[in-house]
Amino acid sequence: MNCGEKCDNCCYVGEGDFVCLLTHKLVMEDFCPTEHFGCCNYDWKAEKEKERVEQTNNRLDYAISQFEKYNLKYKVCNKTNGHINVWRPSDNKIFSFYARTGKIQGIKNKRGIAEFIKILKEV
């Protein structure tokens, strides 16, 4: 992604180079960010966070469809961050899953709905 797609302060000057109109610094060289990329304080992190939040509902709906497909008891705890509690059928243990990030609370090195379903199906 180049600055020019999102930032009005960025100007293409040719050969893949962009200059910030506010700071007059080279922010991209040969379409690659330089150390001055984002120097005008355009909030790229906030934009990415906004995109991630917009996807939360889709991820939450998909996770719920998977829990229902496998007849797993669940409760949506927080729609904003996609937090869902799910009961493992074999021992009724409650696990927390975050649909937004795919994080399985308390489980390291495993992430995502497919991995979570495997854990829930373990006896």
Encoding tokens for residue 74? 């669940």
What is the number of structural domains in the chain? 2
* 8 and 61 co-located in one domain: no
**113 with 103: CB under 8 angstroms?**
no
Which tens digit of pLDDT belongs to each residue from 15-71? Answer: 988 888 878 888 888 888 888 887 776 666 777 778 777 889 899 999 999 999 999
Establish if 42 belongs to a structural domain.
no
* 58 and 115 co-located in one domain: yes
Domain hosting 11: range is 3-33
* 65 and 104 co-located in one domain: yes
Establish if 80 belongs to a structural domain.
yes
The pLDDT-based confidence of 1 (bands split at 50, 70, 90) is: very low
* 69 and 20 co-located in one domain: no
Q: Rounded CA gap, 72 and 13, in Å?
A: 56
Instruction: Tell whether the torsion through CA atoms of 57, 59, 63 and 66 is positive or negative.
Output: positive
Establish if 13 belongs to a structural domain.
yes
* 14 and 64 co-located in one domain: no
> Is the overall model pTM greater than 0.85, yes or no?
no
